[in-house]
Structure formats: structure tokens, C-alpha cells
Structure 1
Amino acid sequence: MTDTSRGALRRMRARNPHENHRAASPLELFFDLVFVVAVSLSSQQLHHMEADGNLGFGVLGYLMVFFAIWWAWMNFTWFATSFDTDDWLYRVMTFVQMGGVLVLASGTGPAMEQHDFTLVTIGYVIMRLALVGQWLRAAISDLDLRSTALRYATGIIVVQAAWVARLFLPDTAGFVAFFVLAAAEIAVPMWAESHRPTPWNPHHITERYSLFALILLGESILASTNAIIEALHEGHHIPDLLTLSAAGLVIAAGMWWVYFSREHHDHIDSLRSSLIYGYFHYLIFAAAGAFSAGVEVAIDATSDHAEATGIAASATLTIPVALFVLGIWALTIRRTLAPLGNSVFLFGVLVILVSTSLPGTGPVVATAVGTASTAVATEIDRKRASHGVNLMPKDRA
């Protein structure tokens, strides 16, 4: 990976997947910053739509927009773990993708409110075509992986052309086409990698995922703090708001505890396991992003600023938190826990779900208790889990 001169381009050959001490680069961290904007805007829009009583429409629009955000981030992340050269051309192409993210972020409002995906599609195409350039460069440089790289480039171009064509379809057809094209996007890596997998660095990949999880949890803390500050300025419902603030912090801490309670890198050891790990995180990340909106809805409901009340308002918080911790449990935790640990964990999830029907600040407080219970469950028999003991039988599928 050394270059002969400062301005020289490096051959984009696959990096060693067993490279020691492979950590996220400054460019990758810089790349993640623009996703802070995209995630924040989508979560804010979800909050406004949920608070106005448009729960179903808001969640659907959020899941559609978040797919574009998550998919663009994930594709760059997996490409970078295999082919990051960090020369000037690689940096410039990454900056182009970052510009596409900002265009996408600016279109989150129209996309979620009116299902007008014009700006989102333009930003998405910018990101994806820049990635095509990277795959073509890899195809030129790495003969062993040329066929795989060309499959990626071809698949991305075909699907992106279809995304543009979708903009000209009638509303109903365009709505259905979104999910068809999302499935096509997911199929491209499966098709490309089935020929000859690109080399992944498990430690690097899981670090990148953990950093994105931190971004999402940080968004929730920032959003809830800002909302509480605004509410406190009005001078009403102060005891309830302080309770919400404390409970929200406990929930975020519990979600962090659950996510980082186990090492993740051992879940990436084959094409199948890598796809499961990568794709399953859509649910986990989307739930984390929706959590911040749920906290804000709870604050609005307490301050009498939300049309959504009762179970509908509570569900905006409890369902995302339950999905997040349950998703992590299913992906990385359940096989490392003894029956007692799994029972305590699932009991905590049940507490979160049942709390949806409680009045006042009850759902937030009970969700904090349930989330804390799931965190405690991860520490049961911790010594055996830390030694890599698999306490549950592996699936034989």
C-alpha cells in the first residue's frame, strides 16, 4: 500500500482481510458526518409526522427514505474495507458520494410527506454512480476480482437507471416499484459476491457498524435534549419533562450497553453470515433512528403540543426500542446467554412492549426499566460468554 510519489495513484488491489489493527480512517469518519445530517433530517420529519397524528404514513415514508440512507452508507463501507487506497482519486470520489448524501438529505421532507422522491433519487444516483467509478477502477487494478467488480458496476448501473425511470411512473406504480427496486438493490451484492467474494476485514467492518450505531444513538440524545430545553423554556410540566429526560438517557444507555455487550466480528466468516449481519442492521439502525423521534413525541405529548396521544404516541417510542434490543439479541447475543439470561432479556422486551398502554410518562419510565433489564441480562454468565462459550445450539440451516 505504499506509493512512490505524493501525487501518484495506487493500484486498487484488494487489501489483506487479516490486516492487524485495521481501524476506521479519517476519511471514513468524515464520510459518516454527512450521514449525521441525513439521519437527523429524516428523524425530525418522522417526529413531526408522528406528533401530527400521521403515524402510519410517517413510518412508511421514514422506512423508505432510511433505506436509501442505509444502503448508500453500507455499500461504501463494504467497498472501503476491501479497496481503500486513500489516494487523491479515491478521496475525490468519496467527496462526490458525500455531496450526493447532502442532496438526498435535502429531499427527505418531500419524500416522507408527499412521496416525492425526486431529490432523494438525484442524490442517490450521484452516490451510486460515484461508487460505480470506484468499482471500475478496482476492476482495472485487480485481475483476480475483476469479474466481481464488473458485476457490481453493471448491477448498480442497471438498478440506478430503473430508479430514474421510476420517477416518471404513476403514483401507485411508482410506489410498488420502490419495493421492487429495493429488492433488486439487495440482490446485487448477492449476485456479485457469489462469483468470487471480495475480502472483508471483520474487525474493520464491525467497527464501522458500531460507529454508525453511535451516530444514531447520539442523534437521539441531542434531539431529546433540544426538545426538553424548548419545553422547559415554557415553564410547564417541569417534573414530567425532567422524568422524561432521565428516562430517555437510561434508555439510550441501555441500548448502547446491549449493542456493545458482545464482539461482532465473529459473525462475519462467510458470504451468508456477512449478508445476514449487513442486511439485518437495516432493522436495527432504522429502529435507533426512530427512537429519537419517539422521545420527542413523548415530550410533545407531555407538553400538550402533539395531536397523537395515548397508545399511538407511546408506540412511537416503545416499538423502536423493542425492535432495536430484540434485533441485537437475535443477531449477536442469544447464543451466548444461558436460559436465565435469555429469559431476563425477553422479559425486559416484554416490559417495553406492554408499557405502550400505560398513561402519562409511564411508557417512557417502563421502557427505561425494560431496557435496563436487557442490559443486565447481557451480564449474566458474562465470564463464560467472554471466553467465547456458545451456550445455545447453533442453527443448522
Structure 2
Amino acid sequence: MKPLKYHEKNRHATWLELFFDLIFVVAIGKVTHTLGHVQQGHFEQEQLWTFFLLFVPLWWVWSSHTIYSNRFDTDSNPHRLATLFIMLLLIVLSARIGEGLEENYPLVMTCYFGIRAIISLMYISPISRLDSRNEFSSRLGVALLISAVVSLSSIFYDPPLRYFVAYIGIFLDILFPVFSWGKIKPLPTHTEHLIERLGLLTLILLGESVISLSGGLSSIQWDHYNVMAAITGFIMICSIWWIYFDSFYLLSKNDSNMSGHALIYSHLFLFMGLALLANLIRHAILNDIAILDFQIMSFIGMTLFFLGKQYGYFIAVPKIRKYIVQNTLIVLALAGLVILLPRVDYILCGLTATMICYVFLNFRYR
């Protein structure tokens, strides 16, 4: 049996993990695409509910597999095969989600259950007990399997009750890993590996944002407004990259107080914010969205992104907490002002300017 990669020196993400990230982004792209169209300039409630209802379980699929791999990956044949089968189920799931969610709900939940069952069996397998401190893993695997069964049982109910039942299972699923049963503590998170995985996924999602931007330009007649929106959108994406990665090294410092689960959970908000902002850039280019919808979704996207990004640094680096709070409040206050501008492309320019402002404010960390 291969040893845990956890104990390797200079550990990095495996080629399989990178492949897994690409498949996951395909699924997230399908979910994000639910907000890619508007009806007479407005998002419909069904679109918004579909986006949020699907985003959370998909994020948790990636997060839970990453948490397991972070501690127990051996890059063995069984681990590879299990991961590849999860990827197959993700492809099937992503093919059936979107506007036809209700009619495809049983298949979608069956695929989700299959993914959760595989991860549960990975915890129960002997590989996850190679380290003597991780006897809790078999109990965790059983608990995760029970929560997956709860979610699967939602197919027997009609909406909206089925979504309530499904999310009971999902929330149990999300909460179980933060508990340990008995006196034995779990293997600590491999911080450097986890931070690398999160950074790589964020980079891929930013690449998807550029693809969305390019797609918006490819199907319209260019004028100075949509060209300005496209250039501004690209500058915003570059600013997001700078904001996210400029202080990234602080999270992996030896004196960091960051919990692996806290970092994973905070990235739910960050990823949702990225998805919303990427969609809004595209709508600004197409100029097909009502300004009120753009204003609301812009502020929600900015707030989610900064809350998700800042939480990790707030916990990990106590000495800069004052700057983090100040900078975040300044940026969100500026965002609240610029969304009052009279055109969506002007608002996009204003939001980009606030992000550039944050870049300069962030220089104080150094």
C-alpha cells in the first residue's frame, strides 16, 4: 500500500487533482450559465434559486474531495479510479442541470448521492487509517453516507419540500467533517497543499471569466460602449487576480492560525462572488440587463467576493486585521456609491476602480 502523500516534502497538487479541477469547473460553468440570460432585462426568481441551490452542493463536492485528498491521498490506483468515477458522475450531473432542473431532479440527486457515497467509502477504506490518529475516519465515512441518503430521499417529495430535505442532508454533510468522534483528533490539514488547490481552482475560474467575456464580444456588433465594457471587465478580472494572490503567501506562514475547514468554507462565498461578477461583465457587454438588477447583483457579487477573500486573512494574520476591516469597509462603501451611476457600463468601470483602489490600499500590508 502506498504511503500518504501528506508526509511528502514539498508536496504539490497531483496531475489527477488538476484534471479533477477542470471537470469541476465545467459543472460550475453550467450552473453559472443559469444566470447568463435575462427576461426583458430581469433575472427571474427561478434562475436565482436554481443558481444558489445548485452552486452549494457542487462546491461541496469539490471541497469534500479536496479535504479527503489533502489528508489521505496516496495516488494509488483505487484512489485514481474512485476520483475518475466521481468525475464521470460530475459530467453526467452537469449535463442535466440548468433550466430543466425539476424534470431532471431524480437523476441529478442520484449522481450527487453516487459522488457522496464514493467519498464516504474512501473514508471507510483502509487507506484513510494509515495514520494512527485517524481512526475517526470510518465513523465519519458512515456519517457522510447517512447524510447522502437523506439528500437522496428528497426525490420522493414534491417541491419545495424536496429542496428542504435535500439541504438537510447537505448541511449535515458539510458540518460532519468539522467534528471528531472520541478522543483521537484528526490528521491536521496540510496547509500548503490546501492553499495551492484553492489558488489553482480560483485561477481556473478566472480563466472561465475571460472565456465568458470573450463569448459576450463574439456575438454582438461592436461599439465604443461594449468595447469599453469588455476592456473594463478584463481589467476587473486582472484586479481580482491581483487582490487574491498578492498576499497569498501570508496564509501559509508557519505562525498562521488558519483552519483548513474555515478556509474551504469561506471560499464558497468567494467562488459565488466570482461567478456573479463574471456574469455581470458579460451582461454589461451585451447591454441586455436592467440597471436595477445589475446594481443589486453587482453589490452582492462584490460583497461575497471580499467577505470570502478577507476571512482567511482575518483569521490567519491577526496583526493586519485592522487594515483588513478598514480596506473592506472602504471598498464596499465605494461600491455602494458607484452602483448609483446611470449606466451599467459606467457601474462596471466604477466597480473596477474600487478594486484598483483596494490594490493600492493593500500596499500597507507590506
Give the TM-score normalised by structure 2.
0.89
Match of 2:179 in 1: 191
**Structure 1 residues 286, 224: CA separation in 2 closer, same or farther (over 3 Å shift)?**
same
| Matching residue's letter, 1:362 | Y
- Three-state SS of the structure 1 residue aligned to 2:11 is coil
Between 114-123 and 170-179, the greater mean CA deviation after superposition: 114-123
1:268–1:274 contact (8 Å) kept in structure 2: no
Cα-to-partner distance string for 1:207-250 (whole Å, 9 max, x where unaligned): 0011111122111111011111212xx34xx1011111111111
Match of 1:311 in 2: 292
**Structure 1 residues 358, 115: CA separation in 2 closer, same or farther (over 3 Å shift)?**
farther
Match of 1:324 in 2: 305
**Structure 1 residues 154, 338: CA separation in 2 closer, same or farther (over 3 Å shift)?**
closer
Determine whether 1:204 maps to 2:193: yes
Match of 2:94 in 1: 105
Cα-to-partner distance string for 1:170-212 (whole Å, 9 max, x where unaligned): 2121132233222211121023477521232100000001111
| Matching residue's letter, 1:240 | Y
CA distance in 1, matches of 2:103, 2:51: 10
Match of 1:152 in 2: 140
Question: How far apart are 1:91 and its partner, in Å?
Answer: 0.9
| Matching residue's letter, 1:256 | W
| Matching residue's letter, 2:6 | R
Question: How far apart are 1:104 and its partner, in Å?
Answer: 1.9
CA distance in 1, matches of 2:323, 2:76: 51
Structure 2 segments unaligned to the other structure (5+ residues) = none
Cα-to-partner distance string for 1:340-389 (whole Å, 9 max, x where unaligned): 6754553222222322222222110000100111121111241xxxxxxx
**Structure 1 residues 145, 337: CA separation in 2 closer, same or farther (over 3 Å shift)?**
closer
Determine whether 1:249 maps to 2:230: no
1:348–1:370 contact (8 Å) kept in structure 2: yes
Match of 1:67 in 2: 56
| Matching residue's letter, 2:302 | V
User: What pairs with 1:174-189 in structure 2 (closer than 5 Å)?
Assistant: 174-189=162-177
| Matching residue's letter, 1:242 | V
RMSD over aligned CA atoms reads: 2.7
Question: How far apart are 1:153 and its partner, in Å?
Answer: 1.3
**Structure 1 residues 337, 149: CA separation in 2 closer, same or farther (over 3 Å shift)?**
closer
| Matching residue's letter, 1:135 | Y
Determine whether 1:34 maps to 2:20: no
Match of 1:388 in 2: none
Question: How far apart are 1:72 and its partner, in Å?
Answer: 0.7
- Three-state SS of the structure 2 residue aligned to 1:200 is coil
User: What pairs with 1:218-297 in structure 2 (closer than 5 Å)?
Assistant: 218-231=207-220, 234-235=221-222, 238-262=223-247, 263=249, 264-266=251-253, 273-297=259-283
Determine whether 1:167 maps to 2:155: yes
Between 32-41 and 290-299, the greater mean CA deviation after superposition: 290-299
**Structure 1 residues 354, 269: CA separation in 2 closer, same or farther (over 3 Å shift)?**
same
CA distance in 1, matches of 2:158, 2:229: 44
1:156–1:185 contact (8 Å) kept in structure 2: yes
CA distance in 2, matches of 1:51, 1:206: 41
Q: Kindly, what percent of the aligned residue pairs are identical?
A: 20
Match of 2:77 in 1: 88
CA distance in 1, matches of 2:131, 2:9: 25
1:293–1:317 contact (8 Å) kept in structure 2: no
**Structure 1 residues 207, 115: CA separation in 2 closer, same or farther (over 3 Å shift)?**
farther
CA distance in 2, matches of 1:33, 1:358: 37
CA distance in 2, matches of 1:193, 1:278: 21
**Structure 1 residues 90, 137: CA separation in 2 closer, same or farther (over 3 Å shift)?**
same
Question: How far apart are 1:127 and its partner, in Å?
Answer: 1.5
Determine whether 1:299 maps to 2:288: no
Cα-to-partner distance string for 1:51-72 (whole Å, 9 max, x where unaligned): 7523543232212211111101
CA distance in 1, matches of 2:21, 2:342: 38
CA distance in 2, matches of 1:171, 1:197: 38
Question: How far apart are 1:94 and its partner, in Å?
Answer: 0.9
Question: How far apart are 1:339 and its partner, in Å?
Answer: 5.3
Structure 1 segments unaligned to the other structure (5+ residues) = 1-9, 383-397
**Corresponding pairs, count:** 360
Match of 1:15 in 2: 6
CA distance in 2, matches of 1:268, 1:247: 38
Match of 1:120 in 2: 108
CA distance in 1, matches of 2:255, 2:154: 34
**Structure 1 residues 130, 341: CA separation in 2 closer, same or farther (over 3 Å shift)?**
closer
Match of 2:42 in 1: 53
| Matching residue's letter, 2:332 | V
**Structure 1 residues 29, 129: CA separation in 2 closer, same or farther (over 3 Å shift)?**
same
**Structure 1 residues 357, 44: CA separation in 2 closer, same or farther (over 3 Å shift)?**
same
CA distance in 1, matches of 2:255, 2:110: 33
CA distance in 1, matches of 2:322, 2:121: 50
